[in-house]
Amino acid sequence: MATARKGRELFTILETSADTESTTVCDSQESPLNLSADVKWFEIPYRKPDSDEEDEVREEEDGEGENGFTSTAAAAETADAASFIAGGGCNIILVTGSSNGITHDEEEYAEDCYYSTSTNCSDTTSNDSDIDFSDLEEEERRSFFSFEDDSDDDCTSPDFWGEPDQVISIEQFSAVSGPQHSLGDDADTRDYFRILFPDSLFEHMVEQTNKYALYRQRRSGKSDPHWHPTDVREIKAFVGLNILMGINQLPDTGMYWASDIFIGNAGFKKTMTARRFEKLTQYLQLCDRESEPVRGERGYDALFKIRPLLDVVENTMWDAYTPNRCLTIDKCAIVMKGRFSPTQYMPPKPLRKGLTVWMLCDSRTGYCHRAKIYVGKPSEDEEAASLGSRVVTSLVRGLEGQYHHLFMDSFFTTVPLLQRLLRDGLYACGPTQPERKGYPEVLRAGNVGKLTQGEFYQCQRGNLVATVTRDVKVVSCLSTNSAPGIVGISPGWQQGETDGESEGDSMNCSGLSFGVPRPLPLLLYQENMKGVELCDQLRECYQVGRPCKKWWRYFLWFYVNLCIVNAYIILRESRGGAPPAGFSGKQFTQRHFRVRLAQQLIGDYQGARGMERAARKRHADSPIEYGHRLERMSERSRRCRNCTNKGLRHESVFGCKICNVHLCRGGCFSEFHK
């Protein structure tokens, strides 16, 4: 175990030259778990000296420095290291497909390799294990994975961590994953959206919106003359207009109904009036406000206003897409301008003030399986576990025993959590804070000292591996899905220098160079910690809804937008990238999906103003023939619509009931119907 800088030699750092690489090329294209084929990786063996005397003799002979790593200044030492590897000490694989890679005899590689097979995280099924444990007995396999013998041990004990020389065991992931639906080839965007946002939610929104409008009028003691009950078709059209507002963004909602031909939108005017859109926005509701419990009462729920939405959408998102092997847990922020107690202020972040949502997303596609809203600090009667542990366990509920690989950031990663996940049949990897409970004392900054770039130390406890390394800065990491001693180098593109004498050995003639070596846990984290970011990129491209002061509206439009993103991913995965029937473009992008969905939600719906204009156009030649007559409309006079259109102000109690407008008794009736 790495206890001091001048102690035992932990690893051998190998820096291969072009000559060494040209003499040793691997025929195998296998790579460690979930790594892309652009990563150059090799194993660094753990060398455990037989005695302290031998260790001192080796230090004198090799002339090691204080960092405990072998020197690579001379070409002879590099050749000795290469010969040590060729003898079976470690495996060096180049999987970039380049001709100047490191080679190794295939038979010798098969003898000592940790990994028997490796599959990419995009695979839906796997027939072979990622780690070779075929030579282990059944009891040893069970003890390696289940952690039953270690579950009762104190992770803070000095004897908890050991040397990084143990073979790890990773069970195969064989579950069938991907979209789960019965839609045919003729399904369109509305059908995929209906999987996640069913019509029952629209019906519920209509019921609660009409009830809330009456509730508000009873509380105020006044009736709203501009409100009439809504229906499912109108609510769908209302949601469709909000989707289109995210594509055609304007600073103010009223500008969509502007009379200026360069600003106003004819489709919005045809669907409904600006006043009707404003009234639907005012009375839109998801819950029964009359039965809402007050804070402090029994049954109080901070998310009561959106609970009906959460109960439906959380189930549909989970059932519509079976999770793949690699999953990401991270948080996203929702910008908010209203007042809500759990709103967080985060100065270092680009979004300084917003609502926090933790998400479980697929590492490859970005599909969001679950989302958990932060509602403030837990009460005293809730479990005493940390917030990060409770979030992770709630997000992965139902995945136990399926051997998924979870990637999370330092907010969640702790030794007790990874032990618990491992006992539940889930692997995890992520950076952590070295001051947290259970992290090896010998890997903390005071004991490790100043690391050079690419230098690392590791400790192991069964599948649990702790790593400290220096890349741009010092990084501490915990993992249960990566073997110790494996280092990878990700390629990067650099512009070659014109002077041939200044070109180094680390870059070939094509400009492809390799960066700082990184241990396998950090490579896995870098490759797979992108699921939530992919989801955010798709979601943030086109916002849904308008800013307001009601906090729950942000969550409503957040989940509507999330359902759109998930529906687009399901369509893309189900059809293999092929567009739905009737699409004539070259590539079916998310923008096309949103426009097509909004058009199908709106359909042929036309509000009162749209029907009024259509009626005037159809019956302009003979209005009286089609029942348009000048009749008394009300006891109270209102402005004449025809005079208002001409910029005049005249009021009348007469008008046309079919067109639902007030008109003067003079020539305004015939002039208006023309």
Residue 242 has pLDDT above 90, yes or no: yes
Percent of the chain whose pLDDT exceeds 90: 38
Most confident residue range from 67-81, 605-619, 630-644 = 630-644
Band the pLDDT of 182: cuts 50, 70, 90.
confident
Percent of the chain whose pLDDT exceeds 70: 66
Ranking 72-86, 184-198, 412-426 by mean pLDDT, the lowest is: 72-86
Over residues 399-439, the pLDDT tens digits come to 999 999 999 999 899 999 999 999 999 999 999 999 888 89
Span 569-591, mean pLDDT? 88
- What does the pLDDT read at residue 516? 75
Residue 91 has pLDDT above 50, yes or no: no
Span 23-34, mean pLDDT? 44
Band the pLDDT of 353: cuts 50, 70, 90.
low
Q: Which two tokens mark 33?
A: 């778990």
Span 205-217, mean pLDDT? 94
Q: What is the pTM of this model?
A: 0.71
What's the rounded Cα separation, in Å, for the pair 283 and 293? 20
Residue 470 has pLDDT above 70, yes or no: yes
More confident residue, 622 or 604: 604
Band the pLDDT of 635: cuts 50, 70, 90.
confident
Residue 396 has pLDDT above 60, yes or no: yes
- What does the pLDDT read at residue 84? 34
More confident residue, 296 or 273: 273
**Cβ atoms within 10 A of the Cβ of 152, count?**
7
Band the pLDDT of 95: cuts 50, 70, 90.
very low
Q: What residues have CB less than 8 Å from 4, skipping those under 6 apart?
A: 447
What's the rounded Cα separation, in Å, for the pair 450 and 197? 54
Span 437-450, mean pLDDT? 87
What's the rounded Cα separation, in Å, for the pair 69 and 97? 30
**Cβ atoms within 10 A of the Cβ of 184, count?**
7
More confident residue, 671 or 322: 322
Band the pLDDT of 129: cuts 50, 70, 90.
very low
- What does the pLDDT read at residue 369? 96
Q: How far is CA 448 from the centre of its chain?
A: 35
- What does the pLDDT read at residue 608? 62
> Contact at 8 Å (CB) between 564 and 593?
yes
The DSSP symbol for 58 reads H
- What does the pLDDT read at residue 550? 85
More confident residue, 636 or 78: 636
- What does the pLDDT read at residue 34? 59
Residue 271 has pLDDT above 80, yes or no: yes
Burial of 274 (0-12, 13-18, 19+ CB in 10 A): middle
- What does the pLDDT read at residue 529? 92
Band the pLDDT of 42: cuts 50, 70, 90.
low
Residue 292 has pLDDT above 70, yes or no: yes
Q: Which two tokens mark 110?
A: 């098969």
What's the rounded Cα separation, in Å, for the pair 49 and 308? 64
Average pLDDT, the chain: 74
- What does the pLDDT read at residue 143? 39
- What does the pLDDT read at residue 316? 96
More confident residue, 669 or 339: 669
What's the rounded Cα separation, in Å, for the pair 320 and 314? 10
Residue 68 has pLDDT above 60, yes or no: no
- What does the pLDDT read at residue 544? 93
Amino acid of residue 128: D
Residues 327, 331, 335, 341: is their CA dihedral positive or negative?
A: positive
Over residues 359-375, the pLDDT tens digits come to 999 999 999 999 998 87
- What does the pLDDT read at residue 94? 28
Span 140-155, mean pLDDT? 46
Band the pLDDT of 150: cuts 50, 70, 90.
very low
Residue 234 has pLDDT above 90, yes or no: yes
More confident residue, 447 or 348: 447
Most confident residue range from 128-137, 398-407, 442-451, 510-519 = 398-407
Band the pLDDT of 46: cuts 50, 70, 90.
low
More confident residue, 500 or 203: 203
- What does the pLDDT read at residue 168? 87
- What does the pLDDT read at residue 197? 96
Beta bridge partners of 651: 639
What's the rounded Cα separation, in Å, for the pair 26 and 29? 8
Span 344-356, mean pLDDT? 64
Over residues 471-518, the pLDDT tens digits come to 888 999 999 999 888 888 766 544 444 444 433 333 343 343 456 788
